[in-house]
Amino acid sequence: MNCNEFKNLIPKWKNEKYTDKKSIEFYEHLSSCVNCIKIINQIEVAQIADFNKNENCDISQSFIEVNKEIQKFKQIKYRKNNIMKLAASFIIMAALFILLNNKTNKISPSELSIKWKTNLFGQTDAPPIICHDKIVIKNSSKNILIAYDKVNGKEIWKTSFEVIGDFITDKDKIYSWGISNNKINLLSINSKTGDVIWEFDCSKIKKYSRNLKLTLINNAIYLTEKQQLFSLDSTTGTLNWSKVLSKENGLLSTPVVKSSSLFIATRNKILELNINDGVVKNEKKLIVKSGLFSRNVLNISKDRIYILSKPLKTQGKLTCYNLSTLKKEWERNANYATNFEIVKDNIFVRANTLQVFNKLTGSSVWSEIVGGCGVLAYQDDLIYLINDKNKQQMMTLDTNSGKVIDSLSLSDTSCNEIIIDETSAYLNTNNGSLYAINIR
């Protein structure tokens, strides 16, 4: 604002709002221009008196009021500047908080160390499972389940009945084959006490075999073996439905679920079944020779289904199909892989070499020779690995690059899975030891 514009605004200066743009310019000019301050002092008494609606007002009094308005403006301007500075500081602090929070949430690995170790007094043929504050493992020599405290490795309970075969958990309950009343039944076991909640008499199922594999998905237990598929309610132990396929279409995988569909691979097909009644909704023929594969492994990620074909004598295949059309999108050689996991954008295929593929394109990301066992667990951006290439050694790898971050020597090697929680890894070994390893 120049001095001429200022003169034009003098008669109505008091009617302007402080937040008005012209008013702000008016007071800003008045507070910095000596000449205009003098002009205010030369205003006729009548103008000022008329403006203030006070005929007795004099120039000095009006000028005092002008100075008051100038001070008000300066205070408002000061407050506004402070608010803007405060807002800017708040934005900067918020940005720093987000950055620091992201850095904090991205958990960094600690140096691997043994938390505790206990003797199982017998070998185990299955990996341990985590049930809240307990580690539960099967003693194969005595055919019992034993629960240990996760913190110190002390025994909490063990079953008074014999258990056999697979066992799985939803943390509150453990599901296992057990011998009850001289019969082999499927048992639901309370993970807190080791007591039986319910038992299902499997002799009611035609062509029953205790080699049926157990899979727990949502509130259902699925039992699969050869051409048989059964669904049980995990809460009550009642049979939901059962299905028996023809011998030539024998099942070679455990099921996976997507929405209301259950997907399972047979010897030469992918089947999509209704999850509620087992009715086949869709099927896709697999281009493989009958009898070539000993078993398939399935997994689903968003709109794709992946099948790892485990070979009897030849190299296996990892194949990606569109989930809606069951059309093949890509296929890769998987050496003599035994299993695979999907972690974020990549697929980790286990064999003598750990192969990592992009799950969308199937392109190779990296690979690492890990020996014969290649026991793995995944968490965040880290892999925890028992590397049989360097026996008696547990390793931490970066999932994005395969770079070795840390390693820990053990007194013996693991023959089963590694399981992990927020701070620890748990594994059982060939000579009957159970380890808890600090990983955080």
Query: What ranges do the domains of the chain cover?
Result: 3-105
Altogether, the residues listed in the chain come to a count of 440
Q: Are 154 and 161 in contact (CB under 8 A)?
A: no
Mean pLDDT of 215-234: 88
53 pLDDT tier (thresholds 50, 70, 90): very low
Q: Which residues pair with 435 in a beta bridge?
A: 117, 427
Kind of pairing between the strands at 134-139 and 129-131? antiparallel
Angle CA 149–153–157, to nearest 5: 50
178 pLDDT tier (thresholds 50, 70, 90): confident
pLDDT digits (tens, 9 = 90+) for 406-418: 988 887 766 667 8
Radius of gyration of the chain (CA): 37
- Ranges 17-26, 137-146, 153-162, 177-186, most confident: 153-162
Q: Look up residue 402 and give its two tokens.
A: 């395969």
Strand order in the sheet with 304-311: 293-301, 304-311, 317-322, 328-333
pLDDT digits (tens, 9 = 90+) for 348-377: 888 777 889 999 999 999 987 766 555 678
430 pLDDT tier (thresholds 50, 70, 90): confident
Select from 377, 302, 296, 366 the least CA-distant residue to 337: 296
Q: What is the pLDDT of residue 66?
A: 54
Q: What is the pLDDT of residue 267?
A: 73
Q: Flag whether pLDDT at 20 surpasses 60.
A: no
Q: Find tokens 């439905």 and name the residue.
A: 241
Least-confidence region, from 29-43, 74-88, 368-382:
29-43
Question: Any idea what DSSP says for residue 403?
Answer: -
Q: Look up residue 137 and give its two tokens.
A: 């493992």
Q: What percent of the chain has pLDDT over 90?
A: 22
d(CA 69, CA 23): 11
- pTM for the predicted model, two decimal places: 0.69
Select from 332, 330, 328 the least CA-distant residue to 309: 332
Q: Which residues pair with 330 in a beta bridge?
A: 320
Q: Find tokens 């950055």 and name the residue.
A: 99
Which residues neighbour 306 within 8 Å (Cβ) at sequence distance 6 or greater?
Answer: 298, 299, 300, 318, 319, 320, 321, 340, 342, 347, 359
Q: Are 238 and 232 in contact (CB under 8 A)?
A: yes
Q: Are 229 and 223 in contact (CB under 8 A)?
A: yes
Mean pLDDT score of the chain, rounded to an integer?
Answer: 76
Half-sphere exposure for 124 (CA within 13 Å, toward CB): 27
Mean pLDDT of 314-319: 79
Q: Are 432 and 413 in contact (CB under 8 A)?
A: no
Q: Look up residue 247 and give its two tokens.
A: 């011998």
Helices (H), 193-247: none
Q: Flag whether pLDDT at 383 surpasses 90.
A: no
User: In which region does residue 302 sit, left (phi positive, over 0), alpha (psi from -120 to 50) or beta (all else)?
Assistant: left
Please report, for residues 70, 113, 382, 383, the alpha-carbon distance to residue 404 in angstroms, rounded to integers and kept in the order given.
69, 16, 10, 9
Q: What is the pLDDT of residue 183?
A: 79
Select from 143, 263, 265, 251 the least CA-distant residue to 207: 251
Q: What is the pLDDT of residue 84?
A: 73
Q: Flag whether pLDDT at 18 surpasses 60.
A: no
Q: Flag whether pLDDT at 103 surpasses 50.
A: no
